[in-house]
Amino acid sequence: MDSKAIPVRNRRARVAGGPAKPSTRERILDVALDLFVEKGFDKSSLREIAERLGFSKAAIYYHFASKDDILMGLHQRLEEIGRRASEQLGQLPAGVDSWAALLDELVSEMLDHRKIFVMFDRNRSAFERLHRRGHRASRGDLDDEVRRVIADPSLPLRDRVRMASAVGAVVTTLVIYGDLLRDVSSGELAVLMRDTVGDLLGRRRQGRRAATVRSQAVRPEVACPKPSATKRPPTSRLTAS
């Protein structure tokens, strides 16, 4: 099986002596994430999720009413990334320096959760069906915050264009085309993304390389098998909806 390693970082709450044990609900979501990446949402079943966990299907139903609910739970993880970025953006003064810091953190966050973006990219039709059935989740405030800043006429036009280009580069590369870059390690991709963002924001290269070294620390790796050749339409939102 052709697979590439995609790192993830556990951001769950920690307790003294080590990481907190994930709840049963989170374990179900983790196993479902693996299956939806490996096989696709449509070809995965609640029975398979239960078997991997050593559960009965009844135990799954205690936490999720359906497979669609599990997909929505995974979508909420995506929304949480956008929510955190939105909160940071709302507290920062508008300008390229602030956006450089924000996008540096956003690149780290998105690369730490590469697998969930791969899952979204490989299962877009499932998300679209979910939305058509009336399960549309909140988009969060990140897109609104970004639009508000870029539309601000009090900012220099040069800065507005640079900021729009930089955030577009991050989202396009890591959300829309991230699965196509599965052969690139997260450490290397982080360096290249930060260089690109710095170039677009017109910031000097000095100091940027040192900031990227932290992103290359060894983290647990999980394998993502090569997807099918099915073409998928691009999305224009900052986070999956």
Question: What does the domain layout of the chain look like in residue ranges?
Answer: 3-10+22-225
Structure tokens at 212: 């990227």
- The reported pLDDT for the residue numbered 156 is 94
CATH of domain 3-10+22-225: 1.10.357.10
- The reported pLDDT for the residue numbered 200 is 94
- The reported pLDDT for the residue numbered 187 is 94
Tell me the one-letter amino acid at 106.
L
Outline where the chain has alpha helix (H): 24-38, 46-53, 57-63, 67-91, 96-112, 114-122, 124-132, 142-150, 157-171, 186-200, 208-213
Would the pLDDT of 220 be above 50?
no
**Mean pLDDT of the region 143-155:** 89
Structure tokens at 21: 């044990």
